[in-house]
Structure 1
Amino acid sequence: MKQAAAGFTLIEMAVVLVVVGLMLGGLLMPISAQLDQRNYTETRRAMSDIREALLGFAMANGHLPCPAISVSDGREDRAVSGICNKRVGFLPWSELAVPKLDGWGHLYRYSATQVFIDATPKVSLTSTPDILIKTRDTTGTAINLTNTSTVIAVVLSFGKNGRWSYSDQAIQAADGSTTNSDEDANASGTASFFSRELTANTAAPGGEFDDFVLWIPATLYFNRMVSAGQLP
């Protein structure tokens, strides 16, 4: 009986080379790029969970939560009367039992139409949202991505550059740019926000942009509220 030939076959060697090549490719990717990708993925996943937490809160309580009391206090800022003391601020993370910070260590910004966060009067199927989401078309012109009767709440991550964001230590990041007008609009927005492709190009219409914007459509909100017995 002939003994099996010792060593690797050409096919086995080819497989080994492919595996080694893939491993080297991963190692050659800058560590910063790997961290960025992880942060992007974690933030998007967290924001999806936050939307479900907001809807779950509304289904249990009959309304969305108020923004948080402060940078350090994640409870909702609600008056004894049931009215929210503000409609825009930080996400009420402790009220929702969700992460306080995005992947880069910045607090999430949160805004909602007042009628959908106040406990009284009770929201109804005729309650009207007032938040507008904008984007830019292929020519760079600002256009409406939604209209003011379709979005009731927005959650915003200030992304990697974190301009205008707050850290866990209550320190606000400086803007540091004169070209990022769409990020500026998001930082000061109450009922109007930009959502567009991420870019580091300062010459792009609206400037560089790395904000993540997630919104709750009125149709989704009303469907969940009806299914929970909170409406009509």
Structure 2
Amino acid sequence: MHATRSHRSAQKGFTFVEMAVVLVVGGLLSWAAFSAYDTVLDAKDRRQAQDMARQVQSQLRAFAVRHGRLPCPDASAAGTGLESLVGGVCGTGNLIGWFPYVSVGADLPVAEYRARYAVYRAPNASAPADADLALNLERSGDPLGHVNHRDVSDLIVALNNVAGLALATDQPHLTGDGGVAGAVDCATNRQMSVAYWLVVPLKDRSGDGERLDPPQASAGPCVFSPGTPVSATNDDVVLSESPTQLAGWLRKSLP
């Protein structure tokens, strides 16, 4: 009789251990499933943000061909989608804001996919030396009424002027990528000036209350290089073009 009770007790104890193991394993599997689900959603969001950044680039280029300048940033707090123009001209010192979707003829996306945008602006009193990419200016000497007066060829002149300038910390530029381009550090590793950059922010991975993750900042001209891998503290999507790259593309667009 005593042996039977001991056997039954052992059976009960074994069943309890089995149940505990099942619960632990089940919890781990659930955690893994939810983690995988989150990872899939994050990857989907990033692909969508990359697609939207490329669409914005196409809209920017088309605008440049039509108007002989790059779009003026939308300096509104919420992002209305309109260029912040003063008397029909991009306001002085306005080089970082939201991308002006409505002004370039595009639909304004939901806030989660709305891009921050910066454009290189270095005005010069001498038109042939001017490097303000948001200004439509006759830089090549074509007279008023000429078919090429203030057209995309004048923007190409401005882009060439930007390419000849030293990197300026108050103009749009890139830092590294955490790999071959060096550390992501706007203080110690400034890589190159760009004609413009676009940043589509996703989650606030840095936990600072802003969707832009460092080194990106709402009013900062420095962003990390495109292609920088996602990290625990940053998932922003960055797209940019150097002055030389954009000038080359625009030349191909000329008739």
Q: What range is the shorter-chain TM-score in? A: 0.5 to 0.7
2:116 corresponds to: 109
> Displacement of 1:99 after TM fit?
5.2
Structure 1-normalised TM-score?
A: 0.64
Structure 2, unaligned runs of 5 or more: 1-32, 122-131, 140-154, 164-170
Contact 2:214 2:234 (8 Å CA) reproduced = no
Contact 2:118 2:221 (8 Å CA) reproduced = yes
2:241 corresponds to: 216
2:89 counterpart of 1:59: no
Paired letter, 2:197: V
1:194 corresponds to: 224
2:93 counterpart of 1:76: no
2:120 counterpart of 1:95: no
Paired letter, 2:244: T
Q: Counterparts of 1:106 and 1:39 in 2: how far apart (Å)? A: 9
Task: Tell me the secondary structure at the aligned position of residue 198 of structure 2.
Answer: strand
2:52 corresponds to which of 46, 57, 65: 46
Question: What percent of counterpart residues are identical?
Answer: 17
2:172 corresponds to: 131
Structure 2-normalised TM-score?
A: 0.59
Paired letter, 1:134: T
> Displacement of 1:152 after TM fit?
0.4
Contact 2:173 2:192 (8 Å CA) reproduced = yes
1:45-95 CA-partner distances (Å, limit 9, x unpaired): 111111111111101110110012522521111222523351110011112
Structure 1, unaligned runs of 5 or more: 1-27, 165-172, 177-181, 201-207
Structure 2 CA distance for partners of 1:127 and 1:78, relative to 1, 3 Å: farther
Contact 2:206 2:234 (8 Å CA) reproduced = no
1:143-185 CA-partner distances (Å, limit 9, x unpaired): 757423xx10000022222769xxxxxxxx8249xxxxx9333
2:199 counterpart of 1:156: yes
> 4+ residue runs of structure 1 moved beyond 6 angstroms?
none
Q: Which one is further off, 114-123 or 59-68?
A: 114-123
Contact 1:84 1:117 (8 Å CA) reproduced = no
> Displacement of 1:191 after TM fit?
2.9
Contact 1:51 1:216 (8 Å CA) reproduced = no
Contact 2:198 2:238 (8 Å CA) reproduced = yes
Higher helix proportion: 2
Higher radius of gyration, 1 or 2: 2
> Displacement of 1:188 after TM fit?
4.2
Q: Counterparts of 2:245 and 2:184 in 1: how far apart (Å)? A: 29
1:14-67 CA-partner distances (Å, limit 9, x unpaired): xxxxxxxxxxxxxx5744333222211111111111111111110111011001
Task: Tell me the secondary structure at the aligned position of residue 216 of structure 2.
Answer: helix
